[in-house]
Amino acid sequence: MSEILDKNDKKAVDEYEKFVSAHKNGCFMQSIRWSKVKNKWNYEAVISRSSDGKIRGTALFLIKKIPFLGCAFMYSPHGPVCDFDDREVLEDIFSGADSIREMHNCYKLIIDPNIVESDKKEIETFKSFGFDFHENAPELTTIQARNNYILKIDGRSSEEIFNSFHKKWRYNIRLAMRKGVKCCICGVEALDDFYDLMEETGKRDGFCIRSKDYFERMITELGEHCRLYMCYYDGEPLSGAVSVQYAGKTCYVYGASTAKLRNVMPNYLMQWNMICWAIENGCDIYDFQGIPFYKDETHPNHGVYRFKQGFNGEVMTYAGEFVKNYKRVRSQIIRMTTKVSRNIFHVNPARFLDIIKNN
């Protein structure tokens, strides 16, 4: 039995949130709180219930109107949340998605469930519901990174985790402490410091950054699930990170740093503090998030992978996106229009995806 969540029913919203936050396939981007961060999108949520009324599956759908075309794009980030072997629940959820599609005149639905590329059975299950799936999607062509770096906590103590790091990483963490680097858990009062670092990082590494308001919404709307970590040396901000803890996972979502005083190793200490937060709250996973182009040692991004690799985790490659085109002709027109727009305005393809899908 499926239903569309009544967004004005606090009891129903709290029940939804409790389920998603406790499920092994839950994700902060499936939280109703996330819809408040993505405030330029509309949203709906589907609930599947068992015969006794208990929730057994959910999905949050973000909905983006396409200007001038009278239609919308629908996206469920790392959804749905359920047992992927339970076909009855999936039928409920996708039946609800069809209702939402009609409500908002959506031309396309994209989902990227929490399954890895080796989960062939689950991939075939999702394809059987009418989704198109393309294996081995190239880097930066999917909304979420397919390649992530994961540290499994597995109930280990902070001492056991620390001792598993590469010896140079352990040395650098201790060095930062000896040098007097202070890693602080901050709120919106430190956003100016963080955003200055983010602007410097974006300019140095050649990527576009989100607005300060976006980070403020993350901190305020995600509440106790979100922390801003800042590292200071003699009062000067050296590095910062936005981290989210939800559904048994702690995710390093955004990071920034200055090129100055790198010899005091603030980034190592900051990661260690966020990993400790995961350990303290019994998380199963600390997720360093994306490592695009990690296999290419000549790529400028390879250094990101090498840094994360020293914490002795493992690469996790998600299957990627499943796409359902409700209106294929309209979908093709929009794809052609966006391609032309990219060429006219000289927008990087990865950034263009971000503009139309992730604002």
What tens digit of pLDDT does each residue of 223-260 get? Answer: 999 999 999 999 999 999 999 999 999 999 999 999 99
Instruction: Give the pLDDT of residue 67.
Output: 82
Same-domain check for residues 345 and 280 = no
Same-domain check for residues 229 and 352 = no
Assess whether pLDDT exceeds 70 at residue 56.
yes
Instruction: Give the pLDDT of residue 328.
Output: 60
Assess whether pLDDT exceeds 60 at residue 329.
no
Same-domain check for residues 249 and 305 = yes
Domain that holds residue 260: 148-317
Same-domain check for residues 90 and 237 = no
* Number of structural domains found in the chain: 2
Same-domain check for residues 52 and 6 = yes
Is the whole-model pTM more than 0.85?
yes
The string of pLDDT tens digits covering residues 159-181 is: 999 999 999 999 999 999 999 99
Same-domain check for residues 152 and 264 = yes
**Residue 200: is it exposed, middle or buried by C-beta count within 10 angstroms (0-12/13-18/19+)?**
middle
Same-domain check for residues 313 and 323 = no
The alpha carbons of the chain give a radius of gyration, in whole angstroms, of: 21
Same-domain check for residues 90 and 227 = no
Same-domain check for residues 275 and 352 = no
Instruction: Give the pLDDT of residue 331.
Output: 57
User: What CATH number should be reported for the domain holding residue 120?
Assistant: 3.40.630.30
Same-domain check for residues 298 and 352 = no
Average pLDDT of 132-161?
96
Same-domain check for residues 346 and 260 = no
Same-domain check for residues 291 and 345 = no
